[in-house]
Every structure is written in C-alpha cells, then in structure tokens.
Structure 1
Amino acid sequence: MTAPRLTADRDRCIGAGMCAMTAPEVFDQDDDGLVLLLHPEPPADHRTAARLAVGLCPSAALALHDPAAGDP
C-alpha cells in the first residue's frame, strides 16, 4: 500500500504558518515565512496532524494525495 503524499505550492503560500504550528514534525517555514515540507510522506503517527494542517491552510497551498482514498 502506498502512503499518503503531501505537496506544497510555495508560490501560493502566504506564510500564515498554520501548517508549521499544527504539524511541526511535517512542516516548517523558511526565512521568508514560506512553507517547507519536511516529510512528503509523513509517518503514520503524524498523518492526522498533516491532514488537519492541509485543511487549515488559508491559501490552499497544501494538498494530501491518498491513494487508499482514491486520490491520484
């Protein structure tokens, strides 16, 4: 089974930091405040926080692609 995979669109990111605050094990911010994806395939124990961070992103710069859920 393929693990869920995260993507981050840094061009779309507005630097709100919700991702880094919600899932600091998975996301960080660079010196300009833009998202840094630390783990594109987060371990199982961080997936819930990663999903929450995706949903909280105000600019929709994050996406979670979960093959088990039928996502490409």
Structure 2
Amino acid sequence: MSDNKAAKSPDSIKIQSPDNEYKKKLNRIKSKICYYKKKPQCGGADAHKTKGTENDKERKEIIEKLETYRSILKLSEAK
C-alpha cells in the first residue's frame, strides 16, 4: 500500500522524455503486429481461438496499416 501512495505523490511523478514515449509507441505497434501475424510467442490470434471472426484479408490489412504507421513513426523520429 505504501508503494502505491508513493507512486501517486506529486514528488515521485516523472515527466517522460519524448524518446520514452516514442519507444512505448513502437513497442505497442510491434506487439500488435506480432499478435496479428499469429506468432505463438505473442499470444497470437489463432483461428481456433477467434472462432473464425477474422479472415485473412482483414488480418493482412491490419498488419499493413500497423507496419505503415510504424514506418511513419520511425521517419518522423529520424528528422
């Protein structure tokens, strides 16, 4: 309990640098891509788990959009 109070106190709040935010965004995107590519180490969206609600075309479109977004983030960070 004392740890939770310390974490919420104004003195312990740290402002995250833009680099940390950038890394967090990239990691979230990487995790989502891994999930939609059905990789078991990511807890991938196996067909038997989703009961056929996602078809391959939708999944590929999602992966493509996530990879595009990741590329845009990397390019904007490089500037």
On whether the aligned pair clears a TM of 0.5, the verdict is no
TM-score, normalization by structure 2: 0.28
Larger relative strand fraction: 1
Larger relative helix fraction: 2
TM-score, normalization by structure 1: 0.30
